[in-house]
Amino acid sequence: MSKIYLEKVSLEKAKEEYLKIFKDYSVETENIKVENSNGRVTAEAIYAKRFGPHYYASAMDGIAVKASNTYGASKTNPLMLKKGLDAVIVDTGDPIPEGFNAVIKIEEINDEGDFYIIEKSATPWQNIRAIGESVMKGQLMFPVNHMIRPYDVGSLLEAGVKEINVKKKPLIGIIPTGDEIIPPDQDPEKGQLVDFNSTMMKIYGEQWGAKVSITEILPDKYEDLKKKVLDEIEKNDILIIIAGSSAGREDYTEKILNEVGRVVVHGINIMPGKPVILGVIKEKPVIGIPGYPLSALLNYYIFVRTLVYQMLSLDVPETPYINAVVRRKVPSQVGLEEFLRVNLAFIDGEYVAVPRKRGSAAMESLVNADGIMPVPEKSEGIGINEKVKIYILNPISSISKNVLFIGSHDYSLDILVNEIKSQKLGFDFNIQSVGSMGGLMSLKRGECHLAGAHLLDPQSGTYNKTYVEEILGDKKVTMVNLIWRQQGLIVPKDNPLGLGKIEDLIRPDINFINRQKGSGTRVLLDYWLNKKGIPSKSIRGYEREEFTHTAVAAAVANKSADVGLGIKAAADAMDLDFIPLLEERYDFIIPTDFLQDTRMGKILEVINSEKFKSQVIALGGYRTDNTGEIMS
Ligand SMILES: Nc1nc2c(c(=O)[nH]1)N[C@H]1C(S)=C(S)[C@@H](COP(=O)(O)OP(=O)(O)OC[C@H]3O[C@@H](n4cnc5c(N)ncnc54)[C@H](O)[C@@H]3O)O[C@H]1N2
Ligand code: MOO
């Protein structure tokens, strides 16, 4: 097959064309002790070597008898059996003495001197385990291509099988590359990043039944990389080259494959993961995996997982999924099948999927997700209330119980999350930080259990109420105060530019960093600018938006901005200075139905506790006098 060019191949076609090349590739076999065989795959049929049990064994504690000697025994006609002659004492598992053919349980006999008295006759072979009851000598225990489970190991040992021939674990070699990449146990300087892709891949590979080795990190040098690839292909069944898959100056993977092997596919219509290179050297799969972690993982999961199972002649297990409804329009990317990370919430009898932010580099979007939602390339996107398939990342038993919070970010939420876990309340509190307005919109769409907002109404000077009424209409909700907190200017230590008030933001020497539209902090800033008659375009950096207080503080800490508006806890966390401007109210917005839910009851108990409040106060810039109170 000739090479398929970048960005032309659908995932289905790439899978079909590439995987079929290796359909007859099989790994070698090895002989291993049965004790170590869990998870391994049989290389030949396995037959039992002995009977289990291999002798007639007592199934009970009692006496062995000859059934014919017991006939006629009854309550009115008890029979006496002479010890040692008519009856022999046996324990469970003991062999049945020669000539005996039944066991009477100890609790059914009376012991009287030289005799046992019985009041019921025994039937032949009662309470005796037959030879081969558990396993028959010579019987087929497992066919070839069977994956050994823990109880299979027990059964094999019982059947006298001590060693078996299994398929060798497919060997995966991983070559991390890049001048900027350093080992994960080192601390990166500017321009350096630690290699964490390799370790994720190793863990997954081992879960699937492969043996994975990671080479030293290779710099972007063509000859070195080529030599390494040629070495490693001899030692492994599957070779992975991380990064250098796209069009960059130092992306050598494709060139090497063309020189010493061949490229089957370069570029698939998926996101993340588009620039993957699927190649072959010496009839073995060599995959150039994109460096961005989510791209790397997705390609590895799609191709390497399948290859491992295929090489072991196993069916590829289906990835667990559920059907969920999407309550907003999700546009598709032109010419790309997108795999979006989503949160899941069980609301009003169905699962609701809520997309998290895009981007192939943000591990956060995966770490905090419950599932992966494919958005097919050719569709119009996903329509409102459409049912879609979601591949789940967590057990459904926990997804069904979790509480999904969407709204503005606050540090007290982290304390809440931790308290819910440490008090083992039986559910997780999952957070999507999208700003105050975003939270209310999600609540309106029925995407979350509760929202969080700090929206000042300039006219009335109240918080949240007018916004809730306007956005949520007649949806019944209750506002419960979480905290009061200080908003102000986040500036470098010792405030070198001497900033003190909102008017300072228009100074020509100042670079500002803003929050996204719809965030409570942005609403506050715009309100102040409006009140003071300051045009937003007079502020340098007004257009540059971040999504959290922490991101604003990080921009100031890293000197990409001189000042931002945010909360004191964010400034403290980055060792910055803070100039307080206003104290604001942050409330939970809870649908009145959910207020009755036992989980919400437990959440309110936590926030009402002294333990929670004292941790919040310790953050600095917080007040908890109204925490847990219903607000109007
Ligand atoms: N001009 C273009 N640039 C890029 C394109 C494109 O089409 N045209 N595609 C983008 C996409 S999409 C992806 S995905 C990446 C793929 O990048 P490469 O495979 O070439 O890898 P690098 O550029 O070397 O690295 C990308 C990124 O990943 C980090 N990285 C690399 N290795 C590791 C590792 N082992 N552990 C953790 N992180 C790693 C690396 O430092 C970079 O930040 O290309 C886009 N560019
Ligand atoms: O394909 Mo890249 O993986 O979109 O980031």
Give residue 559's pLDDT.
94
Question: Lowest mean pLDDT: which of 374-378, 390-394, 438-442, 499-503?
Answer: 374-378
What percent of the chain shows pLDDT beyond 70? 98
Residue in the block written with tokens 């001197």: 113
User: What separation in Å is there between the alpha carbon of 233 and the centre of ligand 1?
Assistant: 23
Assess whether the C-beta atom of 290 lies below 6 angstroms from ligand 2.
yes
SS3 content of the chain, % helix, strand, coil (to 5): 30, 30, 40
Q: Which ligand is nearest to the CA of 7?
A: 1
DSSP designation for 135: B
Q: What residue's CA is closest to ligand 2, atom 4?
A: 272
Letter string b/e over residues 558-584, b meaning 16 or more CB atoms within 10 A of that residue's CB: eeebbbbbbbbbbbbbbebbbbebeeb
pLDDT at 4 over 90: no
Query: Where does the pLDDT of residue 5 fall: very low under 50, low under 70, confident under 90, or very high at 90 and above?
Result: very low
Query: Where does the pLDDT of residue 334 fall: very low under 50, low under 70, confident under 90, or very high at 90 and above?
Result: confident
Give residue 460's pLDDT.
86
Q: Which atom of ligand 1 is nearest to the CA of 289?
A: 19
pLDDT at 496 over 60: yes
Cα separation, 577 vs 619, in Å, equals: 14
- Count how many residues are written for the chain: 632
Q: What residue's CA is closest to ligand 1, atom 26?
A: 291
19: three-class secondary structure by DSSP: helix
Assess whether the C-beta atom of 271 lies below 6 angstroms from ligand 2.
yes
Q: Hey, what's the torsion of the CAs at 407, 412, 415, 419, to 10 degrees?
A: -80
Q: Which ligand is nearest to the CA of 299?
A: 2
Q: Which atom of ligand 2 is nearest to the CA of 270?
A: 1
Query: Where does the pLDDT of residue 1 fall: very low under 50, low under 70, confident under 90, or very high at 90 and above?
Result: very low
Cα separation, 77 vs 119, in Å, equals: 7
Judge whether 287 and 239 are in contact, CB under 8 Å. yes
Q: Which atom of ligand 2 is nearest to the CA of 271?
A: 4
Cα separation, 462 vs 418, in Å, equals: 30
Q: What is the mean pLDDT of residues 362-373?
A: 93
Assess whether the C-beta atom of 274 lies below 6 angstroms from ligand 2.
yes
User: What separation in Å is there between the alpha carbon of 360 and the centre of ligand 2?
Assistant: 5
User: What separation in Å is there between the alpha carbon of 599 and the centre of ligand 2?
Assistant: 38
User: What separation in Å is there between the alpha carbon of 334 and the centre of ligand 2?
Assistant: 14
User: What separation in Å is there between the alpha carbon of 303 and the centre of ligand 1?
Assistant: 18
Query: Where does the pLDDT of residue 247 fall: very low under 50, low under 70, confident under 90, or very high at 90 and above?
Result: low
> pLDDT tens digits, residue range 149-176?
999 999 999 999 999 999 999 999 999 9
Q: What residue's CA is closest to ligand 1, atom 39?
A: 291
CATH 3.40.980.10 residue ranges in the chain? 11-25+170-312
Query: Where does the pLDDT of residue 7 fall: very low under 50, low under 70, confident under 90, or very high at 90 and above?
Result: low
State both tokens at 349: 């009898």
Give residue 193's pLDDT.
96
User: What separation in Å is there between the alpha carbon of 169 and the centre of ligand 2?
Assistant: 30
State both tokens at 6: 């970048």
DSSP 567-604: EHHHHHHTT-EEEEEEEEEEEEEEEHHHHTSHHHHHHH
List the CATH code of the domain at 57-129.
Answer: 2.170.190.11
What ipTM is given for this predicted complex?
A: 0.94
Q: What is the pTM of this model?
A: 0.89
261: three-class secondary structure by DSSP: coil
CATH fold for the domain made of 415-631: D-Maltodextrin-Binding Protein; domain 2 (3.40.190)
> pLDDT tens digits, residue range 291-319?
999 999 999 999 999 999 999 999 999 99
Residue type, position 397, single letter: S
User: What separation in Å is there between the alpha carbon of 577 and the centre of ligand 1?
Assistant: 36
Give residue 377's pLDDT.
82
Residue type, position 177, single letter: T
Query: Where does the pLDDT of residue 375 fall: very low under 50, low under 70, confident under 90, or very high at 90 and above?
Result: very high
Assess whether the C-beta atom of 339 lies below 6 angstroms from ligand 2.
no
Assess whether the C-beta atom of 295 lies below 6 angstroms from ligand 2.
yes
Give residue 362's pLDDT.
85
User: What separation in Å is there between the alpha carbon of 418 and the centre of ligand 2?
Assistant: 33
Q: What is the mean pLDDT of residues 77-81?
A: 96
- CATH architecture of the domain covering 29-52+133-167: Alpha-Beta Complex (3.90)
pLDDT at 409 over 50: yes
Give residue 461's pLDDT.
83
82: three-class secondary structure by DSSP: strand
Give residue 250's pLDDT.
62
Q: Hey, what's the torsion of the CAs at 2, 262, 291, 10, to 10 degrees?
A: 20
User: What separation in Å is there between the alpha carbon of 193 and the centre of ligand 1?
Assistant: 12
Query: Where does the pLDDT of residue 2 fall: very low under 50, low under 70, confident under 90, or very high at 90 and above?
Result: very low
Residue type, position 220, single letter: D
pLDDT at 389 over 80: yes
CATH 2.40.340.10 residue ranges in the chain? 325-396
pLDDT at 508 over 50: yes
512: three-class secondary structure by DSSP: strand
Judge whether 630 and 480 are in contact, CB under 8 Å. yes
Assess whether the C-beta atom of 275 lies below 6 angstroms from ligand 2.
yes
Assess whether the C-beta atom of 291 lies below 6 angstroms from ligand 2.
no
Q: Please list every protein residue whose CB sits less than 6 Å from any atom of ligand 1.
A: 176, 178, 180-181, 193, 195-198, 242-248, 251, 274-275, 290-293, 295, 360
CATH 3.40.190.290 residue ranges in the chain? 415-631
Assess whether the C-beta atom of 127 lies below 6 angstroms from ligand 2.
no
State both tokens at 189: 């300087």
State both tokens at 475: 């949806």
Best of 297, 302, 360 for a ligand 2 pocket test (most atoms within 8 Å of beta carbon): 360
List the CATH code of the domain at 11-25+170-312.
Answer: 3.40.980.10
Q: Is the dihedral of CA 472, 474, 477, 479 positive or negative?
A: positive
Give residue 360's pLDDT.
67
User: What separation in Å is there between the alpha carbon of 10 and the centre of ligand 2?
Assistant: 15
User: What separation in Å is there between the alpha carbon of 353 and the centre of ligand 2?
Assistant: 22
What percent of the chain shows pLDDT beyond 90? 90
User: What separation in Å is there between the alpha carbon of 243 and the centre of ligand 2?
Assistant: 11
Q: Name the residue among 292, 272, 276, 274 with its Cα closest to residue 193.
A: 292
492: three-class secondary structure by DSSP: coil
User: What separation in Å is there between the alpha carbon of 291 and the centre of ligand 2?
Assistant: 9
- CATH architecture of the domain covering 325-396: Beta Barrel (2.40)
Q: What is the mean pLDDT of residues 26-32?
A: 96
User: What separation in Å is there between the alpha carbon of 294 and the centre of ligand 2?
Assistant: 8
Query: Where does the pLDDT of residue 6 fall: very low under 50, low under 70, confident under 90, or very high at 90 and above?
Result: low
CATH 3.90.105.10 residue ranges in the chain? 29-52+133-167
DSSP 64-81: EE-GGGGTT--SSS-EEE
Best of 246, 271, 289 for a ligand 2 pocket test (most atoms within 8 Å of beta carbon): 271
Q: What residue's CA is closest to ligand 1, atom 9?
A: 246
How far CA 290 is from CA of 6, 272, 616, in Å, comes to 13, 9, 42
State both tokens at 232: 């490693």
pLDDT at 444 over 60: yes
Best of 292, 299, 336, 337 for a ligand 1 pocket test (most atoms within 8 Å of beta carbon): 292
Q: Which atom of ligand 2 is nearest to the CA of 276?
A: 1
pLDDT at 481 over 80: yes
Q: Which atom of ligand 1 is nearest to the CA of 290?
A: 19
- How many CB atoms are located within 10 Å of the residue 530 CB? 12
Q: Which ligand is nearest to the CA of 178?
A: 1
> pLDDT tens digits, residue range 595-618?
999 999 999 999 999 999 999 999
Pairing state between β 386-392 and 321-326: antiparallel
Query: Where does the pLDDT of residue 486 fall: very low under 50, low under 70, confident under 90, or very high at 90 and above?
Result: very high
Best of 5, 246, 278, 298 for a ligand 1 pocket test (most atoms within 8 Å of beta carbon): 246
Question: Lowest mean pLDDT: which of 49-58, 177-186, 245-254?
Answer: 245-254
Q: Which atom of ligand 2 is nearest to the CA of 275?
A: 1
Q: Which ligand is nearest to the CA of 289?
A: 1
> pLDDT tens digits, residue range 185-228?
999 999 999 999 999 999 999 999 999 999 999 998 999 999 99
